[in-house]
Amino acid sequence: MTASLSKDSTGEPTEAPLVEVKDLKVHFPITRGVIFDKVIGFVKAVDGVDLSIPRGKTYGLVGESGCGKSTLGRAILQLTPSTGGTVTFDGTPITSLGPGKLREMRRRMQMIFQDPLSSLDPRQNVESILVEGLAAHGIGANRDERRKRVAETLDAVGLPRWALSRYPHEFSGGQRQRIGIARALVLGPDLIVADEPVSALDVSIQAQVINLLEDLQDQLNLTYLVIAHDLAVVRHIADVVGVMYLGALVEEASSDDLYVQPLHPYTRALMSAVPVPDPDVEDQRERILLAGDLPSPANPPRGCRFHTRCPWAQPTKCVDERPVLRVITGTSDTHRVACHWAEDIQSGVLQPHDVRAELVKPASDGEISIPEVLDPTAFDPHF
Ligand SMILES: Nc1ncnc2c1ncn2[C@@H]1O[C@H](COP(=O)(O)OP(=O)(O)OP(=O)(O)O)[C@@H](O)[C@H]1O
Ligand code: SF4
Ligand SMILES: [Mg+2]
């Protein structure tokens, strides 16, 4: 349960999390029709997410392209309206706020985007981009006060004052992302949702931007939701990591626990794809190659949504029952996994036997063996 994340290491309760999400759903209607649009189905981009983000901490969200990460981030800020469930921000259920109150609240919840160039208006100089938000939220009594605040924000993100009169295209990618961060920061937010904040940047620049985000968090006690497909980025920056698959969380743990002991088969597959710098470890470790693409969120598999690709899927529970995110016996009480068989998979009682996914295990001489098809008669993925 989310409450476990609001206990400290001694089990003592801590202050309420800044963000609490309960059973959040975002279903986009699929319409068809020549004159009148008829709803013929729904894309279930987010379909029952529970999470909480403690104040001053970073929640990292990872998962395959199309699994619903951006939609979840936008729904937490209510930039995309939710279909069901609640988002509570600093004690206020924002999912039931009217547009006026929500707008007021939004000053405290800002977003940083993947592509800084397309998210910055090319016709506005940096000063105008930064002042625009202040004016919209009525921050600063006069022009001088706003200019002072803008100048301080530029300093905080490491941009020179001359940047104020320049336009976005005059900057490098890393500098543009600093402008994007400044635009969020100038409003004095408590929460920043950063959607793939460094994916569009050169590797050499990524570390600078990540370090800047960490420094700003320390100075300003910011709370982050960082969305990334790069597991290394998330490991570096996040206190808690949530792994998303087809609109729902399948695993959530502290960053250290998750990377040392991934328990959900999907997380294990994701982790096994990340190269390890030590060649001996790299040669010896298990690889799980997932077969097939992410199923359509318009028609998700029933039961466990991962069962069509899971090398450990068991008849018939995996197809019949959707597993809930739960604390697994013998692990930390902040490590939650949505898998019926997590204990048996972890202990080795259950062995992988999927005919559709390939399991590559190191051979005894350290060579990677040819993927074996594990007794195709033992398991019918279409049971
Ligand atoms: N406005 C929309 N209308 C209809 N479907 C949408 C809309 N926005 C997103 N989707 C669908 O919702 C699903 C989740 O999309 P989303 O962009 O949240 O995924 P993502 O995990 O952020 O992917 P990526 O890693 O590629 O950014 C996708 O199937 C996408 O096509
Ligand atoms: S519930 Fe079944 S299909 Fe889902 S991850 Fe666990 S073993 Fe695999
Ligand atoms: Mg996205």
The answer to whether residue 250 scores a pLDDT higher than 70 is yes
Q: Which atom of ligand 2 is nearest to the CA of 304?
A: 4
313 CB less than 6 Å from ligand 2?
A: yes
- Kindly indicate the confidence band of residue 12, based on its pLDDT and cuts at 50, 70 and 90: low
| CA–CA distance, 326 with 203 (Å, rounded to integer) | 36
* pLDDT value of residue 247: 97
Q: Which atom of ligand 1 is nearest to the CA of 46?
A: 14
Residue 40 DSSP SS3: strand
Token code pair at residue 238: 């996040």
| CA–CA distance, 2 with 52 (Å, rounded to integer) | 6
Q: Which of 345, 199, 366 is nearest to 268 (CA)?
A: 345
323 CB less than 6 Å from ligand 2?
A: yes
Structure-token match 């089990």, residue found: 11
pLDDT by residue (tens digit) across 171-212? 999 999 999 999 999 999 999 999 999 988 998 899 999 999
Cross-strand partners of 28 = 43
Q: What average pLDDT score do residues 347-370 get?
A: 57
* pLDDT value of residue 275: 73
Cis peptide bond N-terminal to 316, omega within 30: yes
Q: Which atom of ligand 1 is nearest to the CA of 114?
A: 27
The answer to whether residue 365 scores a pLDDT higher than 80 is no
Residue 51 DSSP SS3: strand
Is residue 310 within 8 Å of 379, Cβ to Cβ? no
Which residues lie at CB < 5 A from ion ligand 3? 70
More confident of the two residues 122 and 279 = 122
The answer to whether residue 368 scores a pLDDT higher than 50 is no
Using CA atoms, how far residue 71 sits from 20, 218, 272, in Å, is 16, 27, 26
Token code pair at residue 199: 């994916």
The answer to whether residue 372 scores a pLDDT higher than 70 is no
45 CB less than 6 Å from ligand 1?
A: yes
If you measure from the C-alpha of residue 28 to the centroid of ligand 3, how many angstroms do you get, rounded to a whole number?
Answer: 15
Residue 270 DSSP SS3: helix
* pLDDT value of residue 363: 44
Q: Which range (220-224, 333-337, 378-382) has the least confidence?
A: 378-382
* pLDDT value of residue 364: 46
* pLDDT value of residue 13: 55
Q: What average pLDDT score do residues 274-293 get?
A: 74
Strands (E), 271-341: 287-289, 326-327, 336-337
Phi, psi (5° rounding) for residue 137? Answer: -100, 5
Q: What average pLDDT score do residues 242-258 get?
A: 96
What is the DSSP secondary structure assignment for residue 289, as one 8-state letter? Answer: E
* pLDDT value of residue 84: 97
* pLDDT value of residue 126: 96
Using CA atoms, how far residue 165 sits from 116, 128, 139, in Å, is 18, 9, 21
The answer to whether residue 252 scores a pLDDT higher than 90 is yes
If you measure from the C-alpha of residue 47 to the centroid of ligand 1, how many angstroms do you get, rounded to a whole number?
Answer: 12
Is residue 193 within 8 Å of 73, Cβ to Cβ? yes
The whole-chain average pLDDT of the chain stands at 86
pLDDT by residue (tens digit) across 82-104? 999 999 999 999 999 999 999 99
* pLDDT value of residue 34: 76
If you measure from the C-alpha of residue 125 to the centroid of ligand 3, how many angstroms do you get, rounded to a whole number?
Answer: 27
Structure-token match 């040819």, residue found: 370
Q: Which range (105-109, 261-265, 274-278, 298-302) has the least confidence?
A: 274-278
Q: Which atom of ligand 1 is nearest to the CA of 71?
A: 18
* pLDDT value of residue 237: 93
| CA–CA distance, 284 with 275 (Å, rounded to integer) | 12
Token code pair at residue 125: 């100089």
305 CB less than 6 Å from ligand 2?
A: no
53 CB less than 6 Å from ligand 1?
A: no
If you measure from the C-alpha of residue 286 to the centroid of ligand 2, how many angstroms do you get, rounded to a whole number?
Answer: 18
If you measure from the C-alpha of residue 262 to the centroid of ligand 2, how many angstroms do you get, rounded to a whole number?
Answer: 14
Q: Which range (12-16, 25-29, 44-48, 69-73) has the least confidence?
A: 12-16
125 Cα distance to chain centroid: 31
Q: Pick from 297-306, 322-331, 361-370 the range whose average pLDDT is largest.
A: 297-306
